[in-house]
Structure formats: C-alpha cells, structure tokens
C-alpha cells in the first residue's frame, strides 16, 4: 500500500527508516514550526534529510516573505537545491508537520524526494491522502513513499493553539 500510517507502524517503517529516526527528525520539524508560529506565521515546519544528515530546514513564512509559495516544504526544498547545486534531491526524506498541499506535493515529485513523512492530516488542503492524493496520480514518472501521522498530536496542538490565539 502506498500510504502508511503511524498508528499501524512497527519498528521498521517504509523506506528503510526506523521509528526512532522518524520521531527525531519530526521533532526537528516541530522546532521549525514553533519558529514560524513565533514569527506570526501558521506553525508548519520541515526538515529535509539525506544519508542521515539534515540538509535543509524550512519554516512556513508566506506572510513575512509576501510570497504565497513560501510554505515550509518549499523553503526546505529551495535551500537544499541551492546548497547542493541541483534541483533534484534523490534519496532524500522530507519531514513536515502538516500534510502537504497540492503545490508542495507536486514540488516533492519534481524534486524526486524519495520519502515523505508528515505529522498532522489536513482535511482542508491535504494532497497526500486527505483531500486528494497527488502521489497516486497515474502517469507520474516518480513515486514518493508517503507516511503520515508521526507526532500528529504534537503537530495538531501547535496548530490548534496558534489558531485559538489568532481568531
């Protein structure tokens, strides 16, 4: 099955990663989300990993950057591509605190990210299984292994607290 869930996970997750690594890297993504929240942005954070090394991070910043594409995932992909000198990021894993939207999901495919691990599901905009599943569209020349629900409670709490303060 393409979509995996943290609730069904054992000690070894899809893509050869283990649950402890996924939790550690998602914790780092949560740190990025907290930074976004402190800046007045919706608290979403991302960490891009390759060969057990963090190669880029991203914090949601469309308001501060006056850029509707400045989502955490895009920030991490752009940073990694610049530092590596290549827009293709094969064998990388993106950890993000919220299920990616359509734009971000498509960017992961374009960047040839191997694996996506996300925290909270997003019924309103989620493009990795909630609203739609971009990764299952027929005819794509690259497949991303998707795993959702890692530290979902923590991710949801950040979002819930942020919106409670800003509404």
3-state secondary structure of 8: helix
The question of whether 73 is a catalytic residue gets the answer: yes
Give the closest residue to 94 by CA, choosing from 28, 11, 140, 36.
28
Query: Smallest Cα–Cα separation from 111: which of 86, 133, 129?
Result: 86
Which of 51, 73, 99, 154 is an active site residue? 73
Q: Using DSSP, state whether 83 is helix, strand or coil.
A: helix
Catalogue the active-site residues.
Answer: 73
């Amino acid at each position: 099955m393409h979509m995996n869930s943290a609730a069904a996970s054992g000690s070894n997750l899809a893509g050869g990663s283990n649950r402890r690594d996924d939790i550690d890297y998602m914790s780092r993504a949560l740190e990025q989300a907290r930074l976004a929240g402190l800046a007045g942005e919706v608290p979403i954070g991302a960490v891009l990993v390759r060969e057990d090394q963090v190669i880029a991070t991203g914090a949601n910043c469309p308001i501060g950057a006056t850029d509707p594409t400045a989502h955490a995932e895009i920030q991490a992909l752009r940073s990694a591509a610049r530092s590596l000198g290549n827009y293709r990021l094969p064998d990388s894993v993106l950890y993000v605190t919220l299920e990616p939207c359509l734009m971000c999901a498509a960017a992961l495919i374009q960047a040839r990210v191997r694996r996506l691990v996300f925290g909270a599901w997003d019924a309103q905009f989620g493009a990795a299984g909630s609203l739609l599943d971009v990764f299952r569209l027929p005819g794509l020349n690259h497949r991303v292994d998707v795993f959702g629900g890692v530290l979902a409670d923590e991710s949801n709490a950040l979002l819930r607290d942020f919106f409670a303060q800003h509404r």
